[in-house]
């Protein structure tokens, strides 16, 4: 096996969470009388943490800390209660992770989603798969593309960057890997269209991802 540790992004890589995220933000906006956004619009907003998501969804003239904080609280309350209404694993990802674990590969998650949401969704959809680390957005820790979240996973595994790979769907994920000096594989089924110069190694299915990982 080429890699000893595989670090996965969550939203847009392991799980399609977009509809539930959009519904929760639109709910928070509606409580304030602000206009909603479409799924296509949210596709361009996600990936930088929920505070940034809420901020971008607000009308530009309303992007003050007090408004953001109130809407963020409303978002979290709704999202926590409806986090898995439409969220689903991408085709083949549950089976692939089981295969990787069976072959002795250690698995980790590095997400910009808030920690409790990250942990819940991994338990909900991948509860039979042991991860060495499930890391989300935590107070006092930087968001991706800072590589600290990946470095923490590798330290827990005792594995150098040369023996690990990051799998993600966004330019943020690719930059995280670059900042952490580890290779990266981009999946094309997520929320971003990545040019070749940003993501030289791209796969379009779980089968192609398995081939790239096992080669």
Active-site residue numbers?
Answer: 9
Alpha helices in 5-107 (DSSP H): 18-31, 39-43, 50-57, 65-81, 93-102
Please answer whether residues 90 and 15 qualify as being in contact, where contact means their C-beta atoms are separated by less than 8 angstroms. Answer: yes
Please answer whether residues 91 and 188 qualify as being in contact, where contact means their C-beta atoms are separated by less than 8 angstroms. Answer: no
Question: What's the angle, vertex CA 168, arms to CA 165 and CA 170, rounded to 5?
Answer: 135
- DSSP one-letter code for 87: -
3-state secondary structure of 45: coil
How many helices (H) and strands (E) would you count in the chain? 9, 8
Which of 116, 35, 100 is closest to 108 using CA atoms?
A: 100
- DSSP one-letter code for 66: H
Within 13 Å, how many C-alpha atoms sit on residue 21's CB side? 31
Alpha helices in the chain (DSSP H): 18-31, 39-43, 50-57, 65-81, 93-102, 115-126, 148-157, 171-179, 206-214
């Amino acid at each position: 096996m080429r890699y000893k540790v595989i670090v996965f992004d969550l939203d847009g890589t392991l799980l399609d969470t977009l509809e539930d995220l959009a519904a929760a933000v639109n709910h928070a906006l509606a409580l304030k009388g602000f206009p909603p956004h479409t799924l296509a619009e949210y596709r361009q907003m996600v990936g930088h943490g929920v505070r940034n998501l809420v901020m971008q969804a607000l009308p530009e003239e309303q992007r003050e800390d007090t408004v953001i904080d109130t809407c963020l609280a409303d978002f979290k309350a709704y999202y926590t209660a409806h986090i898995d209404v439409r969220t689903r694993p991408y085709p083949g990802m549950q089976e692939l992770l089981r295969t990787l674990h069976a072959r002795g590969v250690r698995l980790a998650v590095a997400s910009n989603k808030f920690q409790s949401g990250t942990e819940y969704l991994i338990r909900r959809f991948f509860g039979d798969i042991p991860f060495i680390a499930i890391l989300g957005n935590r107070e006092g820790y930087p968001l991706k593309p800072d590589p600290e979240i990946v470095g923490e996973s590798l330290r827990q595994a005792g594995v150098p960057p040369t023996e690990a790979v990051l799998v993600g769907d966004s330019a943020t994920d690719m930059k995280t890997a670059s900042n952490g000096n580890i290779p990266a594989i981009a999946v094309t089924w997520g929320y971003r269209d990545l040019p070749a110069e940003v993501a030289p190694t791209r796969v379009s299915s779980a089968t192609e991802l398995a081939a790239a990982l096992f080669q």
